[in-house]
Amino acid sequence: MGQHKTRHIKLERTVNFPTGVELLHNPLLNQGTGFTKGERELLKLRGLLPPSVLTQEQQVSRLMENFRQKPNDLEKYILMISLESRNESLFYRLVMENLEEMMPIIYTPTVGLACQKYGHIFREPRGLFISAEDKGEIASLLENWPHTDVRVIVVTDGERILGLGDLGANGMGIPVGKLSLYTACAGINPSQTLPITLDVGTNNETLRNDPLYIGLKQPRLRGAAYDELIEEFVMAVVERFPHALIQFEDFGNVNAFRLLAEYRDRICTFNDDIQGTASVTLAGLLSALRITGGQLQDQRLLFLGAGEAGIGIADLIVAAMMENGVDEAEARQRCWFVDSRGLVESGRTDLAVHKLGYAHEHEPVADFLAAVEALRPNAIIGVSGQPQTFTQEVVEAMSRFNEHPIIFALSNPTSKSECTAEQAYTWSGGRAIFASGSPFAPVAYQEQTLVPGQGNNSYIFPGVGLGVVATEARHVTDEMFLAAAKTLAGLVSEDDLVQGRVYPPLTSIRQVSHAIAIAVAEVVFARGLTAKSRPENLPAYIESQMYQPDYPIYV
């Protein structure tokens, strides 16, 4: 977005402004060697820094040199998380200027490996760890957080980290990474973000037997005790941070749907695995249909995986079809699921409640390939966490039914993807429209270069969050995610589509988030979800709320 004027901070107007070593240990204020000679005198930094003064641009250059010399992605992650812990302005400048290179490191897929090894690479705590042992005292824990104007909280209980399963307290890497993207992609001020892990134990015996595991070494809390802890947490947050958006992240299926149902109309909250994934996937489908020439309501969609992501996607697709005038029952009939026991159909007696709305009449089908052959879908959407399940036979079958088969292999991280971009393109004769959850490189096929889309939630949740924060919305609704999906799809250019790309380049993510925030804000004002008045120039107002990682000048 546009350049902001450099901030000038007058110290005589600032009460108890940190100086000296205290300042250098404050990541929100520290500039390292970027402090000018005058600032070093003013802020009692002389002798605490080497004499050379480097601009932020020079610091970025030095860090990129170090970053690219690291031997593997985990070492790059450690470098970046350490930078974030000592100089946040420089961290965000580095990320924003090198987003395509940085995002796979600070988030998926590398963050998955970082979570698996979190106790072994632990350097410095970030965010708040609230454990089951803190029951009755959560409010006092929140008081320990130094910033009072928190606007976005990402919270996990670590039960379903990406496609990696139960990682317990090690899951803190996810809230930390998500909130980094809120700032880098949408300009949420980092001082207004708070990552939280609810440590309710883990059923991962490997972690419980690891002497370096950072969490409670006990089985997961379940039942009424779990619900009481969540309720105490939510109410404590509302009291301490009344304008905060709470994003539930990577909770297990057993809790995710019911927690969303419990709190969505009580507080300002959403579940990114259910609603954010749905929005980015719907956007990809809308873009894909510009290539195939089809209409959404005429598509038959087959999902592999019937958990949070799959059901969330289908629910939003149904809402989009209904907006186009289709009856709800007919829209649901367009969405089919295969889970670990075969086709989700009405004759089964083992279905969880969240699957019942998509249990249609059909004879039993045991496996995914057989379901593809029986249903002849226009699109297959993988949200199973089961790698290599979109086999050559599956892709070839899809290619017999469709001139341009839509193949979305969305499971994260890369190791869990249902197929690779190269496989999808090769097995379909270069005709597949492909998107994945984690990034894949462009694929040279015959005489063309095909660019796979990355259906990453970072296209959606930062912009939605910005719209909610800027308007101080009381609730987050599905209508906002529908508006976000249509906005994102509308930003895909014809040049993108020619390359096979169903999302805009990540380099435009700030513009994408700005546009989505405007669309979300329009919903907020239209539905009366805020006490604030609509600004006369809404785009300019939204832009004015977006953080820029420039160093201020102290005078």
List the beta bridge partners of residue 195. 154
User: Which tokens in the block code for residue 99?
Assistant: 């987003």
Contact 173, 108 (CB under 8 A): no
Peptide bond into 50 cis (omega under 30): no
Q: How many CB atoms lie under 10 A from the CB of residue 545? A: 18
* CA dihedral of residues 478, 314, 460, 74 (deg, nearest 10): 140
User: Which tokens in the block code for residue 260?
Assistant: 């969303």
Contact 318, 332 (CB under 8 A): yes
Q: How many CB atoms lie under 10 A from the CB of residue 420? A: 20
Nearest to 110 by CA among 81, 89, 139: 81
Catalytic residue (one of 77, 92, 178, 445): 178
Measured CA to CA, the distance from residue 269 to residue 261 in angstroms comes to: 10
All residues at 6 or more sequence positions from 113 whose CB lies less than 8 Å from its CB, including other chains: 73, 74, 77, 413
Is residue 178 annotated as a catalytic residue, yes or no? yes
Catalytic residue (one of 76, 77, 92, 107): 107
Contact 417, 436 (CB under 8 A): yes
- CA 227 to the chain's CA centroid: 25
Query: In this structure, which amino acid lies at residue 541?
Result: Y
User: To which H or E segment does residue 337 belong?
Assistant: strand 335-339
Contact 134, 225 (CB under 8 A): no
Q: Degrees (nearest 5) of the Cα angle 461, 467, 468?
A: 85
User: Which residues in 245-278 are b (16+ Cβ under 10 Å) and which e?
Assistant: bbbbbbbbbebbbebbebbbeebbbbbbbbbbbb
Measured CA to CA, the distance from residue 470 to residue 188 in angstroms comes to: 9
Active site positions, annotated: 107, 178
